Structure 1
Amino acid sequence: MRRRRETMGEILDVAVELMEVEGVAALSLSAVARRLGMQPPSLYQYFPSKMAIYDALFERGARQLRDAHRAALATATGPEPFANDLIAVSAFCRWCMEHQIYSQILFWRTIPGFEPSPEAFAPAQDTLHDLRDHLTAAVDAGRLHPDATSEEGIALYTSLTAGLLSQQIANEPDASFDDGRFIKLLPVVLEMFYQRYAPARGTT
């Protein structure tokens, strides 16, 4: 069982390496097999289809991103909610920029016909729950209006951050988080969200 898990991990690692060169949608099972010194039919002992590999990569990426976000949240314990939020969302965006293949699988429809399974999607749902809890803490501290944690508020928050990431990765894919021209606007975008849901203004 241990060796099987290791082989599955190796298959996923090689798949990511190939996608970094050929693109996410161009993944070839034959190329994966050749890189591993296997016959293509042997891959089906571990993954029944190419979509199953994408699904496993989605779950792996979502889990790693969730854990990186949670690690940042654990350090974001200062008295100012905005500063804490910036720490957490910066860690989220930094991970996405440093793992662009996973980001494409997680956030962009680059694979025709692919939908993650409920099991693969579960860590992504955890991250959304963590975000809502984090924003709730800002509401409780009097920094945000309760509507910030509504479906609209979460949708706006994720749209703002995803939009910056999209611009950054599309226009400067090789830039670091610290040097990216677009991602440097993250504090500005976050302040826009806080102004939109300021306690005295609500969503008016």
Structure 2
Amino acid sequence: MTGGTTEAGAGPTRRERLRAGTLEEIKQAALGLIAEHGSANLRFTDIARSLGMTPPALYRYYADRDELLTALVADSYDSLSDALTATRDTVAPEDLDARFLAACTTYRSWAQQYPERFALIFGSPVPGYAAPEDGPTVVAARRAMEHMVELVTATAEFGRLGRPLVPDVTEATMLAWATVHGFVTLESYGHLAALDQPTRDRLFTAQAGLAARTAGLAPPET
């Protein structure tokens, strides 16, 4: 075996491990700058300075800012999807109400734990950036959003899907997610700061219940 190559089934080479580590360092530095200054102000020169690198050195890892942003957005969606998957696996498949509430709660907790990632994928668009069509960001976003669709599908399979507030089930699913997302966004950007934590928790649970009824996941209140 020559340097820089691996046998079938062998792990990555030292050079590959070092490159992967540097890629991750660059992404973490970028996320730190996004948290501090916002995604619109992300610049290679600032990333390089924070890592003790020269700006040209960054181009050995990312072709330009857009490629780095694409990697960050895809990573953020994957992070959200992984959190939702982990939560789903802790709740019995037939306990649909608990699964939906757990998914909503996880979405909220993830936004609180990773505010820079939440802002990157759900905040204001980055000027001049356009995600590649059918690229990694689209695939990752679809994977993350499929969790809500799976809940609706599972509810239908159990014969418990009620009448959604809009006739089309797919549209109802998106409306349910928008209902939860609206609360999480207000909270994430400090617009509910006047309310104490217990009050916000109660309101969020009520909002999640409203979202469930919107998609037909729970019977309408009488």
TM-score, structure 1 normalization: 0.85
2:40 to 25, 34, 40: 25
Percentage of identical aligned residues: 23
Q: Is the 8 A contact 1:25 1:112 kept in 2?
A: yes
Counterpart code for 2:161: L
Cα distance in 2, alignment partners of residues 124 and 198 from structure 1: 23
| Higher deviation after alignment, 59-68 or 104-113 | 104-113
2:177 to 149, 158, 178: 158
CA drift at 1:180: 7.3
Query: Retained in 2: the 8 A contact 1:139–1:146?
Result: no
Would you say 1:128 and 2:142 are equivalent positions? Answer: no
CA shift for structure 1 position 55: 0.8
Tell whether the 8 Å contact from 1:161 to 1:189 is kept in structure 2 after alignment. Answer: yes
Q: How far off its partner does 1:27 sit? A: 1.2
SS at match of 1:113: coil
> Which sections of structure 1, spanning at least 5 residues, go unmatched?
none
* Alignment partner of 1:187 out of 202, 205, 209: 205
CA RMSD across the alignment:
2.8
- Report the AA paired with residue 157 of structure 1: A
Q: 1:171–1:71: structure 2 CA closer, same or farther, 3 Å change rule?
A: same
Measured after TM superposition, the shift of residue 172 of structure 1 is 5.6
Distance across 2 between alignment mates of 1:127 and 1:18: 25
Larger radius of gyration: 2
- Residue 44 to residue 174, structure 1, CA distance change in 2 (3 Å): farther
1:87 equivalent in structure 2: 102
Is this contact kept in 1: 2:176–2:215, CA < 8 A?
no
Select which of 89, 98, 102 maps to 2:117. Answer: 102
Q: Within 2, Cα distance between the matches of 1:156 and 1:83? A: 19
Instruction: Give, in whole Å, the separation in 1 of the partners of 2:75 and 2:142.
Output: 13
Structure 1 or 2: larger helix share? 1
Q: Which moved more, 1:125-134 or 1:25-34?
A: 125-134
Distance in 2 between residues matched to 1:27 and 1:173, nearest whole Å: 28
Single out whichever of 122-131 and 156-165 deviates more from structure 2.
122-131
Separation of aligned partners in 1, 2:63 and 2:37: 22
Q: TM-score with structure 2 length normalisation?
A: 0.79
Q: Which amino acid aligns with 1:120?
A: T
Task: Kindly provide the CA deviation profile for residues 100-122 of structure 1, in whole angstroms up to 9, marking residues without a partner as x.
Answer: 11111111233113233321221
Conserved 8 A contact 2:192-2:200? no
Query: Could you list the per-position Cα deviations for residues 114-133 of structure 1 after superposition, in whole angstroms to 9, with x for gaps in the alignment?
Result: 23332122122112222211
Letter in 1 for 2:142: Q
Does the CA contact (< 8 Å) of 1:51 and 1:114 recur in 2? yes
Give the letter aligned to residue 109 of structure 2.
R
Match of 1:69 among 84, 87, 92: 84
